[in-house]
C-alpha cells in the first residue's frame, strides 16, 4: 500500500465492501447508513464510535486514494457512496469478502476468515480460502501478510496491510517464530497445501466432535 490509510478510512472501506455483498438493496450507502455501519457493535474489532464528520473525512481520504467514490442513485436526494476496490485491485467477490473481514475484524486465521465471510461469499473449503488469501498476499503491492504464531496458539493469523507495513521482525522476536517470506518453491507450495488440508481436517473433526459434547 503506497499511502497508509487511517483507521477511520479502513473501517469505512470495510463497511462499504461488506454492505455491498450482504445488503445490496441498501448499497451505495448514505453518510448516515455508513456511519451506523462503522459503529456497529457486532462483527467489529475494535468497536468504534465515529461522528458523521469523521466518516465524511474518511470517505474523502478514500476518494483521494481512488478506493471510493460518490454515487448518483435515481430518485435519491441524499448523496451516496460506493467503494472502488473491485476496479482498483481487480478483485472478485471472494477476494473482496476476505479483505473486508480483515478490515473489520483485524487479524484472522484462515478458518476464521472462512467462517466470518459466510454472508458475503461462499468458500467451498479452507483450501479455497487459503488460495484467496495467497492471492491477496501475492498482489503488487501485497494487501495481506501472515503474522507469526502467537504464544499458546496453533495457527497463524493473516493481517491486512492497508494501514502500512507491519514490523514482522518485532513480532517474530515476541513470538519466537520466524516467518520465511522468500518466494515459494514447488516443494514449499506442496507443503503449504498439505498444511492447509490438515487444518481443514482438524476443523472438520472439531465440528464433528462438537455434535457429541
Instruction: Select 91-210's CATH number: 1.10.1660.10, 1.10.10.10, 3.40.50.1370, 1.10.1060.10.
Output: 1.10.10.10
pTM listed for this prediction: 0.78
7-88 belongs to which CATH class? mainly alpha
Q: Tens of pLDDT along 156-209? A: 899 999 999 887 776 656 555 444 444 444 555 456 556 656 655 665 555 555
Helix or strand (DSSP H, E) at 100? helix 93-105
Mean pLDDT of the chain: 84
Q: Tens of pLDDT along 87-144? A: 999 999 999 999 999 999 999 999 999 999 999 999 999 999 999 999 999 999 999 9
Q: What is the pLDDT of residue 77?
A: 74
The angle at the Cα of 129, spanning 19 to 183, to the nearest 5 degrees, equals 120
Q: Report the distance separating Cα 145 and Cα 133, nearest Å.
A: 9
Query: Grid coordinates representing 76?
Result: 435519491
Contact 69, 85 (CB under 8 A): no
Closest CA relative to residue 65, chosen from 15, 135, 6, 140: 6
How does residue 74 score in pLDDT terms, banded at 50, 70 and 90?
A: low
Q: Report the distance separating Cα 9 and Cα 163, nearest Å.
A: 9
Residue intervals of the chain classified under CATH 1.10.10.10 are 7-88, 91-210
Q: Following CA atoms 152, 48, 4, 107 in sequence, which dihedral angle do they give, to the nearest 10 degrees?
A: 20
Side by side, the strands of the sheet bearing 80-83 are 29-30, 80-83, 68-71
Beta strands in 16-56 (DSSP E): 29-30
Amino acid at each position: 500500500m503506497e499511502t497508509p490509510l487511517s483507521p477511520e478510512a479502513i473501517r469505512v472501506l470495510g463497511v462499504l465492501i461488506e454492505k455491498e455483498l450482504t445488503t445490496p438493496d441498501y448499497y451505495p450507502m448514505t453518510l448516515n447508513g455508513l456511519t451506523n455501519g462503522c459503529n456497529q457493535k457486532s462483527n467489529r474489532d475494535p468497536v468504534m464510535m465515529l461522528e458523521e464528520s469523521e466518516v465524511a473525512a474518511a470517505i474523502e481520504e478514500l476518494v483521494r486514494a481512488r478506493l471510493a467514490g460518490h454515487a448518483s442513485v435515481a430518485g435519491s436526494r441524499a448523496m451516496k457512496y460506493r467503494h472502488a476496490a473491485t476496479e482498483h485491485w481487480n478483485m472478485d467477490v471472494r477476494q473482496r469478502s476476505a479483505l473486508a473481514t480483515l478490515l473489520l475484524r483485524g487479524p484472522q486465521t484462515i478458518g476464521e476468515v472462512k467462517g466470518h465471510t459466510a454472508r458475503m461469499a461462499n468458500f467451498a473449503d479452507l483450501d479455497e480460502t487459503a488460495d484467496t488469501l495467497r492471492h491477496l498476499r501475492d498482489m503488487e503491492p501485497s494487501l495481506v501478510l501472515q503474522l507469526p504464531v502467537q504464544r499458546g496458539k496453533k495457527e497463524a493469523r493473516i493481517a491486512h496491510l492497508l494501514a502500512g507495513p507491519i514490523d514482522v521482525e518485532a513480532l517474530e522476536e515476541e513470538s519466537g517464530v520466524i516467518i520465511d517470506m522468500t518466494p515459494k518453491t514447488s516443494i514449499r507450495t506442496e507443503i503449504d497445501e498439505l498444511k492447509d488440508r490438515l487444518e481443514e481436517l482438524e476443523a472438520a473433526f472439531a465440528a464433528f466432535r462438537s455434535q457429541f459434547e
